[in-house]
Structure formats: structure tokens, C-alpha cells
């Protein structure tokens, strides 16, 4: 999987999305999207794969909104930016410094 922005680049006041991509049939496809406003998770969409139902998870004040649809993760799980390894760790022949998430 690939993530952008990486978890270490998402500040406590971040506004924007974090995207996760997954390799499927030899192509990178969007797997999930988290939307943050002023550092608070507002929405989680996923998985976004062809032929699969996409959950639309809306959050207000740390609680799942009744307007959400699908199998939604708990707020505590969904609100953490997805962790990632340093760039190049997945393809490195000798992954030096690649034992911890950033």
C-alpha cells in the first residue's frame, strides 16, 4: 500500500485528505480516503474497490454519525492516520532503517 500524506506529515491541525492506494491487477487504485478538518477526522471512505460496497463513515465530535453507511471502523481506529514506512523501504534490497513506522 501507499499513503499520502504520510502519517508523520499530518499535524494536529491538518485539514485535508489522507489517501491509501492498493496494487490491484498491476495498477495502483484508491483503497480508502480519510478527511480531516482542523486535525479532527470528519469522514472515512473505504474500501473504494471496483465491485465492493464502499463504506461512507461520517464523524461528528468523535462519534459515528447516524448518516453513515456500511461497515465503519470505530472513531478511535479511523481517526489515526495510516502509518507508513520511510520512502524506499518496500523496494530496498537491504532495508536499512526500515523497521519502524514513521
Residue 96 lies in a domain: no
Confidence of residue 23 (pLDDT cuts 50, 70, 90): confident
Q: Which whole number is the average pLDDT over 42-64?
A: 89
Q: Comparing 38 with 81, which gets the higher pLDDT?
A: 38
pLDDT at 20 over 80: yes
Residue 32 lies in a domain: yes
Pairing of strands 55-60, 40-46: antiparallel
Residue 46 lies in a domain: yes
Residue 95 lies in a domain: no
Q: Where in the sequence is the domain holding 60, given as residue range(s)?
A: 2-78
pLDDT at 91 over 70: no
**Whole-model pTM?**
0.79
pLDDT of res. 96: 57
What confidence tens digit (pLDDT) does each residue in 65-85 have? 999 999 999 999 998 888 777
pLDDT of res. 63: 94
Starting from the edge strand earliest in sequence, which strands make up the sheet with 63-64, in order?
2-4, 16-24, 27-37, 40-46, 55-60, 63-64
Residue 26 lies in a domain: yes
Closest CA to 56 of 72, 35, 78: 72
pLDDT of res. 84: 78
What letter does residue 87 receive in the DSSP assignment? T
The total number of structural domains that make up the chain: 1
Residue 12 lies in a domain: yes
Confidence of residue 101 (pLDDT cuts 50, 70, 90): low
End-to-end CA, the chain: 15
Amino acid at each position: 500500500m501507499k499513503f499520502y500524506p504520510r502519517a508523520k506529515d499530518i499535524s494536529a491541525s491538518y485539514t485535508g485528505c489522507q489517501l491509501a492506494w492498493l496494487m490491484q491487477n498491476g495498477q495502483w487504485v484508491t483503497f480508502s480516503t480519510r478527511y480531516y478538518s482542523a486535525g479532527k477526522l470528519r469522514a472515512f471512505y473505504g474500501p473504494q474497490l471496483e465491485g465492493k460496497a464502499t463504506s461512507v463513515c461520517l464523524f461528528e465530535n468523535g462519534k459515528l454519525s447516524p448518516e453513515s453507511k456500511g461497515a465503519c471502523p470505530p472513531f478511535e481506529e479511523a481517526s489515526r492516520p495510516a502509518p507508513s514506512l520511510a520512502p524506499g523501504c518496500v523496494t530496498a534490497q537491504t532495508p536499512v532503517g526500515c523497521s519502524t513506522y514513521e
